[in-house]
């Protein structure tokens, strides 16, 4: 079984923000592969773990999709509770999250890497006491943007522009293709094939 966690913030006002890209990707996975219940609906909330979950199969592998409802900076608390119920722990944990260090339209697959300042990933590393899990870093950074460190927190809570939304549809589709490939061929082959 693989636990795929999309990171984001709960609540309607955060739905279309850059920081919620992880949520959007797992919603699309759930819809594309007919997981039940749908993560975007009110169902699927597990109050014990403070997370929305959905179960299904991709490439003949059992998958749990999850969206922590703890807010981004406390994502690790929900992930820790979920992972404690899965054998082999972090070797079966995949995280999908937004990334501002690579240009919009690009995706990186990494394993056993530091958070690079991402607060949700930081929280997971802190709670699990390891960084040895897989991450799908999906870019939210405009290609023409010169972001300053002091403006990053505000930037990731902004919504995508209309033009960016068009690019985003392609990014989400590509991310799902990469995850599907990963489940069929393994993470090492995926990194070799898709990381630039």
Distance CA 123, CA 154 (A): 19
Confidence of residue 14 (pLDDT cuts 50, 70, 90): very high
Give the whole-angstrom CA distance, residue 30 versus residue 157: 24
The 10s digit of each residue's pLDDT in 133-189 is 999 999 887 765 666 655 666 777 888 888 888 888 999 999 999 999 999 999 999
Measure the CA–CA gap between 130 and 22, rounded to whole angstroms.
Answer: 21
19 is catalytic: yes
Q: Give the 3-state secondary structure of residue 139.
A: strand
106 has which bridge partners?
none
Q: Which residue range forms the structural domain that includes residue 109? A: 2-194
Which band of pLDDT confidence, cut at 50, 70 and 90, is reported for residue 100?
confident
C-beta of residue 67 within 8 angstroms of C-beta of residue 51: yes
Residue 121: partners with Cβ closer than 8 Å, 6 or more residues away: 7, 75, 95, 97, 115, 135
Q: Which helix H or strand E contains 160, and what residues bound it?
A: none
Overall domain count for the chain: 1
- What CATH number corresponds to the domain at position 172? 3.40.50.1470
Catalytic: which of 19, 52, 67, 118?
19
Per-residue CA distances from 49 to 79, 83, 96, 106, 109 (Å): 8, 10, 19, 32, 27
Confidence of residue 107 (pLDDT cuts 50, 70, 90): very high
pTM of the model: 0.90
Q: What per-residue confidence (pLDDT) applies to 66?
A: 93
Q: Do the Cβ atoms of 6 and 31 come closer than 8 Å?
A: no
């Amino acid at each position: 079984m693989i636990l795929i966690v999309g990171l984001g913030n709960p609540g309607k006002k955060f739905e279309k923000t850059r920081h919620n890209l992880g949520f959007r990707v797992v919603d699309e996975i759930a819809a594309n592969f007919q997981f039940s219940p749908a993560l975007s609906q009110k169902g699927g909330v597990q109050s014990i773990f403070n997370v929305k979950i959905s179960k299904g199969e991709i490439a003949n592998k059992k998958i749990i999709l999850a969206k922590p409802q703890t807010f981004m900076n406390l994502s690790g608390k929900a992930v820790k509770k979920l992972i404690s119920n899965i054998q082999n722990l972090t070797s079966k944990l995949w995280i999908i999250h937004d990334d501002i260090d690579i240009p919009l339209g690009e995706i990186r697959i990494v394993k056993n890497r530091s958070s690079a300042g991402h607060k949700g990933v930081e929280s997971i590393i802190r709670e699990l006491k390891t960084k040895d899990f897989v991450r799908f870093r999906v870019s939210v950074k405009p290609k023409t943007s010169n972001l300053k460190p002091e403006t990053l927190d505000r930037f990731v809570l902004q919504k995508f522009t209309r033009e960016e939304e068009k690019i985003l549809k392609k990014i989400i589709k590509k991310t799902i293709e990469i995850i599907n490939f990963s489940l069929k061929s393994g993470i090492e082959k995926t990194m070799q094939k898709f990381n630039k």
